[in-house]
Amino acid sequence: MDKSMKFFVVDDDPVILKLVKTLLEAGGHSVTCTNSSDDAVASIQTQSPDCVLSDIMMPGMDGFELCKKLRDSDALIATKIVMMSVKTYEFDRQRARELGADGYLLKPIDPETFLDQIRQILADQMILQYWGVRGTLPVPGRKTLKYGGNTPCVTLSLPRERLFIFDAGTGIKELSNELMRKDDRPVTARLFLSHPHWDHIQGLPFFSPLYIPGNEFEICGASHSDLTVRELVSGQMGGVYFPITIQKFGASVIFHDLHEGSFDFDDIRVETMLLSHPGNCLGYRVYCQSKSICYVTDNELFRPDLPQYSATYVARLVNFIKRTDILIADATYTDEEYPSKVEYGHSCIGEVVKLAHAAEVKELHLFHHDPDQTDDDIDLKHEVATRMLNSLNSKTRCIAPAEGDTYEL
């Protein structure tokens, strides 16, 4: 909230009205207040504020009904709605989301954090965070302290408290710890698996939120011929390989078999593409508002001089990632390492850079590093990629993310 905004506050408690008005005006914003929800609709439609803050439990029209009426108005489509309540129940949070609320704040209001909470809700940002950036197997130790040694796991936090998780390598264990450290609210998320190779699912049995009643997950990925995503996940947790089966999941878990195509998850569009990798492996492109992020691992870009090279495939992939804000790409090998790794299913830096430049992506994130590579090796890959982009006069920026790194869009 760097610029001044117009707020409309609805609450039958005069103390709350005064506090919220004081805090917002101190932040440089204009504020209109009313203690009557019945009178609020007409006033809000006349003023078209940037944001409405509304209590839930009020005499006459309650906050949920007010939210629905505002969302039914085409004139207020750009207005954000934030519910404020003493009600901590997940049912009420979910109901607010279903009715179109953009956020939910608990009372009593904390004057120290209130403006920052509002800012985060109104930002409409996607927050990308890395929990594991290695490929093949985890490599803890002194040589991997900078970038971390965990296998793939990436999260995308979306507006209205939605969470997308990409892959369930060992990095998902630290995500699990983070979610378990938070308050007692149930966890709801969608997990998108690129494919069922071990390094992309080996952390799933240790993801504690799956075992807690009240949590809800949808696990999405590509089926393999006659094997569904449910069968692929449950197979690694069979009695021979792991002592706890998926029947022990306490959370509500839905499995969703995806194919190459386009899918809508509420107002979020997800496109998928089958990648150049042994077995069925999906790349994902997530659209939110005017932004997009592509998750493309594992993927082998054959060099043009090799018989396996397909110009058609490269053209399709360029189109799939075209002008995305962030491309998370398999950059497993150096150009020198690649000749001995052909048909392993992974790419080298040179081909990844050419792909990102051709697709005019804004940021290229190097991902899925070979387990034999140290932090110094990844630094070198980053330097090489940056030099190549500069030599192409490319506008693409190159980043080598580490575990724990976050990026806001």
DSSP 131-176: EE-B-SS---SGGGTTT-SPPPEEEEEETTTEEEEE--STTHHHHH
> Length of the chain in residues, anyone?
409
Per the listing, tokens 């430049």 go with 357
Query: Shortest CA distance to 37 belongs to which of 13, 20, 71?
Result: 13
According to the model, what pLDDT value does residue 314 have? Answer: 98
**Residues 262, 271: contact at Cβ < 8 Å?**
yes
Residue 98 has a pLDDT of: 86
User: Which residues are within 8 A (CB) of 167 and not within 5 positions of it... i.e. 6 or more apart?
Assistant: 132, 152, 153, 154, 192, 193, 194, 200, 201, 297
Answer whether 67's CB lies under 8 Å from 83's CB.
yes
Distances (CA, A) of 283 to 5, 58, 166, 286, 347: 39, 47, 10, 10, 14
Secondary structure of residue 346 in the 3-state scheme:
coil
Return the closest-CA partner of residue 12 out of 40, 45, 35, 39.
35
Cβ count within 10 A of residue 74: 6
What are the strands, taking DSSP E only, across 24-126?
30-34, 51-55, 80-85, 103-106
The pLDDT score that the predictor gives to residue 1 is 56
Q: Which residues in the chain show pLDDT less than 70?
A: 1-2, 124, 183-184
pLDDT reported for residue 2:
59
CA–CA gap between residue 174 and residue 283 (Å, rounded): 23
Q: Are 355 and 320 in contact (CB under 8 A)?
A: no
Cβ atoms of 247 and 219 closer than 8 Å: no
pLDDT at 102 (0 to 100): 87
Complete domains list, the chain, with CATH: 6-122 (3.40.50.2300), 127-408 (3.60.15.10)
